[in-house]
A and B are shown apart, each in its own frame.
Chain A
Amino acid sequence: MNRAAPAADPAGTASQSVPPQSAALLAVSELSVTYRVTHRGAHALLRAVNGVSFELARGETLGLVGESGSGKSTIARALLRLVPAESGVAMFQGIDLLGLAGGRLQAMRRHLQLIFQDPVASLDPRMNVGDILGEPLRVFEPQLSGEERRQRVLAMTQAVGLGAEHLHRFAHEFSGGQAQRIGIARALIIKPELIVCDEPLSALDVSIKSQISNLLKDLQRQLHLSLLFISHDLAAVRFSCDRVLVLYLGRVMEIAGCDALFSACRHPYTRALIRAAPIPDPVAARARRSAPLEGEIPSPLFAPSGCVFRTRCPMAIDRCAREVPMLRSVGDSQVACHRAEEVGA
């Protein structure tokens, strides 16, 4: 982290330190996360993330989708070092995030910020907005004068569509949409390189969701942010993301560009998710009437052998029970399915 130590301009100094051979801001390989749990009175190991690899380019928004229990939030938490990874490497600006400790980890945190699902709960109820937004600056840019800090806070407040009149208010005085704007401002004020958005829209009302979706997209473009966008809402992912990673029981099922994924996905699970996503148009919704995917995601404690999706897959064959499908290129996707060629559009 010495290279990024002069904290005044993290973006500038840090980006120059990236080895030239790596175009990716973040390169995750073979990440596994295991939780120790108690099952029927005995200790057991729950593998929440299992050998996940992906890259995130600078300025890119990558969607992580999958049902609850697919491991999408766990991946984000492991990268932010909020839960310990069992194995794997996460190269970020030439440094393995998973190998950092102590002061170097602390210093790295300024480059990695998080936007939470529940906007009101993620704000300290006893701090006013000015203090909430000033705190990251006090921690990571202590050299700023009080006046400089106030200027940065005000500029950021305005960038998320709030005004100076909001700075003295407290979290409970805000609606969900306004609170999420504050959460976004708090994440962005120290100019992080990578922002993890964990279901940033789920707690918001329909009419507010579109405001926040637009805001995130605008900020992403203006500030050239790199985002990991975790969501179970495929339509929101399609609007916000450049590429999408589809997870099931802790494994990558498919990675593809957003347009390719929605027009010609290659994994039966992706196809099932797309078909289950509600379409706000009765003609289109009823025209595609196909039987929904049966059953539910199994417990990761009892992950099926071979392909983890096979117990719900309408295309499963004997081979799927024996052999874990490797991620490979088919069409415009990276896909882990023995029968990907047959899925097509």
Chain B
Amino acid sequence: MNAAAALRIRGLSICYPSEHGRIEAVRDIDLEVAAGEFLGIVGESGSGKTQLLLSVLGLSAPRAELTGSIRYREQELLGLGGAALNQIRGNRISMVFQDPMTALNPYLRVGRQITEVLRVHRQVSARDAERRAIEMLESVHIPDAARRMRQYPHELSGGMRQRVMIAMALIAEPEILLADEPSTALDVTVQAQILTLFQELRARTGTAIVLVTHDLGVIAEAADRVAVMYAGRIMEQAPVHELFAHPHHPYTEALQQSIPRIDAPRPLHLASIGGVPPNPAALPAGCAFAPRCIYRLPICDVLTPPLIETGPGHWKACHHDGPLGKLRGEAA
């Protein structure tokens, strides 16, 4: 797709043995992240979006079986040992987690946790690290940064903690920032602040951002490009405006239509997807969305549709070739 891809994932599958059989969390995913782009990955719980993100940094559970390839620049990350990964983690690729309280070390002052990144990855003096950390906290709009450096995580609000996480993730000026539901645990006003901050930082540093969320609204606000995941696979992938204006996959359409909006007439009923997401230990044959799909064809139960390019940068994995538009909320 793109010669300048910073991250290139090919044929990635992640399986877990479990007492209920093999759980296929991620299935045969191809995905690229271009330098400096903002990629949104949207999916419900169990769609594999978090597993995908964790695998990039070698954070999958030890019993996970990974196949395929994850390349950062020219370097294969899959199968890389801890020491080699540590050269990359927090340095070239870093991560922000959903819950900043559990991601920060409660016993260490904020300043120590931020400067540690520089002490490990850069040859800097303690004084320089401290100065850089304060600058970084200021750039994520933490007021009174020097004082905050000396505080413990529990002394900060949820929004502040998430800003600290972002400061930590960005202080080594990584090429790629992975963010797993970074604003989900926060109030809407703070969520908006964090999204604005991401965009501001990207504009300034050129860091590529991969943001995983269940919230299409967050994607619409922030992303350049979107990948829609369901049951471990990418169902559709497109530039953000294209995806929202012309969704090609019935699941994308269903997600879009089932969300109530504050800016459109109130429907009597929301469009709704029947059924529930499949059990990852017992995925149906063929397309995993077929049992809930209103455009289902006989072939959908037999053959998994490949992800194919249907327009410039627009990819979909669906046998249905006709138009969508059957799913609508019921007008009031």
Contact = CB atoms under 8 A, between A and B. Distances in A.
Contacts of B220: 278-282, 284-285
B267 A292 contact: no
B270 A214 contact: yes
Contacts of B262: 234-235, 238, 262, 274, 277, 279
Contacts, number: 134
A280 B259 contact: yes
B100 to A, nearest CB: 13
B309 interface: no
Given A205-B45, A282-B241, A296-B157, A277 B217 contact: yes
Contacts of A274: 262
Contacts of B290: none
Interface in B158-194: 159-160, 187-193
A210 B261 CA distance: 12
A207 interface: yes
Contacts of A67: 187-190
Interface stretch (B6-14, B69-77, B90-98, B272-280): B272-280
Contacts of B25: none
A217 interface: yes
Q: Which size class do B's interface residues fall under? A: 35 or more
A262 B219 CA distance: 22
A36 to B, nearest CB: 21
A212 B295 CA distance: 23
Contact of A272 (B189, B215, B267): B189
Interface stretch (B58-66, B110-118, B250-258): B250-258
A213 interface: yes
Interface in A222-268: 232, 234-236, 238-239, 258-259, 262
A205 to B, nearest CB: 4
Contacts of B189: 67, 272-273, 276, 292-293, 296
Given A213-B270, A292-B192, A280 B256 contact: yes
Interface string A24-51: 0000000000000000000000000000
A68 interface: yes
B261 to A, nearest CB: 6
B73 to A, nearest CB: 30
Given A262-B262, A279-B220, A280-B261, A210 B190 contact: no
B266 A214 contact: no
Contact of A292 (B196, B245, B261): B196
Nearest to B276: A175
A294 interface: yes
B266 A232 contact: no
Contact of B188 (A209, A210, A277, A282): A277
Contact of B159 (A208, A210, A296): A296
Interface of A is mostly: helix
Interface in B44-65: 44-45
Q: Which of B191, B245, B258, B269: most chain A CB closer than 10 A?
A: B258
A296 B219 CA distance: 23
A207 B193 contact: no
B244 interface: yes
A119 interface: no
Given A205-B277, A296-B159, A280 B266 contact: no
Contacts of B259: 206, 210, 235, 280
Contact of B191 (A209, A214, A276): A276
A149 to B, nearest CB: 29
A123 to B, nearest CB: 17
A283 interface: yes
A17 interface: no
B273 A239 contact: no
Contacts of B191: 276, 278
A196 B56 CA distance: 43
B270 A279 contact: no
Q: Which of A178, A273, A292: most chain B CB closer than 10 A?
A: A292
Given A208-B276, A283-B241, A217 B187 contact: no
B140 to A, nearest CB: 13
7 contacts: A207-B255, A207-B273, A210-B259, A210-B270, A285-B217, A292-B193, A296-B157
3 A-B pairs with the lowest CB-CB distances in the bound complex, closest first: A278-B217, A292-B192, A210-B258
Interface of A: 67-68, 175, 177-178, 205-211, 213-214, 217, 232, 234-236, 238-239, 258-259, 262, 272-286, 291-294, 296-297
